[in-house]
């Protein structure tokens, strides 16, 4: 199985500088209960065994482009923490596998990482459906998993998992800002389309629930299959019913498809918003002027004034020669939390790390704080809403994080740009 260097699309351009993460302290031997190998604490740091952190994440397949942002953040943290002297006086080594955007593959790979590679710690994959499979393996072995790329509430509401911890808000809350804006503008009708997988389904359910609470009329909430190549029939239905607001519970590939086919059909709702994609630089780059006026939720933005954020953005740009997106930031935040747990506990004991995570409240580069409920669901994070304006994302909600104002209604396609 190839290591992480065979799955990354680019090598590091230069070593990143530290961005205000927690400092490492002196070495400490991991608990005997840990599957991973321990190191002799009396040995010189230069010959001590590395702390192995296992990751199976999409770098190919449907979620590959998004998963790469998350992986790059993991790699940036690895370089930075080692530049600071490692954890517990030991170097950190990521052991990375490509799950090819497949839940079954993820399950097998985390089994290998824990049982065969004997990693000391794990970090989560990308997408809720893949995380669902990976979390079952982490639960089996008692490994805390920070879900840096998953937010469907179903991951936590079952009450059976004790080792999965959310890094950011659940999917059902994503579109709160979008619907508040719609309400302010007097829009009363809404249509929803969503991919028929775990996260988009959760997002759609949250939109429908919140819209009805606000007194909005939901005309339809229709699914489309994963890896869809044509959603024109759904969009033709939307055009006939003509809701003032169209929300897409989507990832990047399907949001691009919906946007392009809406343009081809000359369908222009007054407000159009997408999950995941609308917050990604790739979305704007792919669409050009067609991205204008589109809104969406974001878990983080480069312009936010959170502790360490400016340094993180600078280091990411210098290292990967591109803009980070919120998946980069959520991945990096998971690493900040994991580093804080190990550092404060001076231990790699996974049960102790789990207990620490349950009671932790700390600031990361994300808005709000890392804080979870008794089931491990994130409850301290704050979502922002962005809109594409003049080829750039502008934070338009909430007021305390905004760096601009939204512009509505959306003009016809021929008048954008």
What total of structural domains would you count in the chain?
2
Mean pLDDT by 10 residues, the chain (417 residues): 37 32 32 40 62 98 96 98 97 98 98 98 97 97 98 89 97 97 98 96 96 96 95 97 97 96 97 96 96 98 97 98 97 98 98 98 98 97 98 97 97 86
Tell me: do 166 and 233 sit in the same domain: no
Tell me: do 166 and 191 sit in the same domain: no
Q: What is the rounded distance in angstroms from the CA atom of residue 356 to the CA atom of residue 99? A: 29
Tell me: do 222 and 258 sit in the same domain: yes
Residue 378 lies in a domain: no
Tell me: do 317 and 276 sit in the same domain: no
Tell me: do 83 and 23 sit in the same domain: yes
How buried is residue 152: exposed, middle or buried, by Cβ count under 10 Å (0-12/13-18/19+)? buried
| pLDDT in the model for residue 12 | 31
Q: Which domain holds residue 395?
A: 172-299+383-415
Residue 375 lies in a domain: no
Tell me: do 309 and 293 sit in the same domain: no
Residue 377 lies in a domain: no
Residue 372 lies in a domain: no
What pTM was computed for the model?
A: 0.86
Residue 43 lies in a domain: yes
| pLDDT in the model for residue 40 | 42
Tell me: do 66 and 196 sit in the same domain: no
Tell me: do 14 and 86 sit in the same domain: yes
Query: Under 8 Å CB-to-CB from 383, ≥6 apart: which residues?
Result: 168, 169, 173, 174, 176, 177, 297, 298, 299, 367
Residue 44 lies in a domain: yes
CATH number of the structural domain spanning residue 183? 3.40.50.2300
| pLDDT in the model for residue 417 | 61
Tell me: do 316 and 184 sit in the same domain: no
Tell me: do 402 and 257 sit in the same domain: yes
Residue 374 lies in a domain: no
Residue 367 lies in a domain: no
DSSP per position, 133-164: HHHHHHHHHT--EEETT---THHHHTS--SSE
Q: From the CB of residue 37, how many other CB atoms can be counted at a distance below 10 Å?
A: 13
Tell me: do 251 and 348 sit in the same domain: no
| pLDDT in the model for residue 160 | 87
Tell me: do 191 and 210 sit in the same domain: yes
- Sign, CA dihedral 76-364-201-190, equals negative
């Amino acid at each position: 199985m190839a290591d992480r260097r065979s799955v990354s699309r680019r090598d590091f351009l230069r070593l990143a500088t530290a961005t205000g993460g927690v400092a490492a302290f002196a070495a400490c031997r991991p608990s005997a209960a840990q599957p991973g190998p321990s190191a002799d604490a009396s040995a010189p740091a230069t010959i001590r065994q590395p702390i192995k952190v296992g990751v199976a994440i999409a770098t190919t397949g449907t979620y590959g482009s998004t998963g790469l942002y998350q992986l790059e953040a993991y790699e940036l943290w690895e370089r930075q923490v080692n530049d600071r002297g490692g954890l517990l006086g030991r170097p950190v080594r990521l052991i990375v596998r490509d799950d090819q955007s497949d839940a079954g593959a993820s399950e097998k790979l985390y089994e290998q990482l824990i049982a065969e590679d004997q990693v000391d710690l794990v970090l989560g994959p990308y997408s809720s459906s893949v995380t669902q499979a990976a979390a079952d393996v982490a639960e089996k072995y008692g490994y805390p998993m920070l879900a840096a790329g998953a937010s469907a509430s179903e991951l936590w509401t079952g009450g059976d998992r004790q080792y999965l911890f959310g890094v950011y808000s659940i999917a059902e809350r994503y579109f709160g800002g979008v619907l508040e804006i719609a309400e302010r503008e007097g829009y009363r009708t809404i249509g929803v389309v969503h991919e028929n997988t775990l996260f988009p389904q959760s997002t759609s359910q949250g939109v429908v629930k919140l819209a009805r609470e606000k007194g909005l009329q939901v005309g339809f909430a229709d699914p489309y299959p994963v890896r869809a190549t044509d959603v024109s029939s759904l969009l033709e239905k939307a055009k006939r019913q003509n809701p003032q607001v169209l929300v897409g519970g989507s990832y990047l590939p399907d949001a691009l498809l919906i946007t392009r086919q809406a343009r081809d059909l000359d369908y222009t709702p007054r407000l159009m918003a997408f999950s995941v994609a609308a917050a990604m630089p790739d979305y704007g780059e792919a669409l050009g002027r067609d991205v204008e006026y589109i809104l969406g939720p974001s878990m983080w933005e480069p312009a936010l004034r959170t502790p360490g954020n400016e340094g993180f953005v600078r280091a990411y740009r210098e290292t990967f020669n591109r803009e980070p997106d919120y998946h980069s930031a959520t991945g990096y935040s998971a690493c900040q939390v994991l580093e804080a747990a190990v550092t404060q506990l001076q231990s790699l004991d996974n049960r102790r790390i789990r207990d620490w995570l349950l009671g932790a409240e700390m600031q990361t580069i994300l808005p709000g704080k890392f804080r979870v409920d008794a089931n491990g669901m994130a409850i301290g994070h704050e979502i922002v809403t962005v809109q594409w304006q003049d080829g750039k994302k502008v934070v338009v909600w909430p007021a305390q994080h905004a760096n601009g104002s939204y512009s509505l209604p959306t003009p016809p396609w021929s008048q954008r740009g």
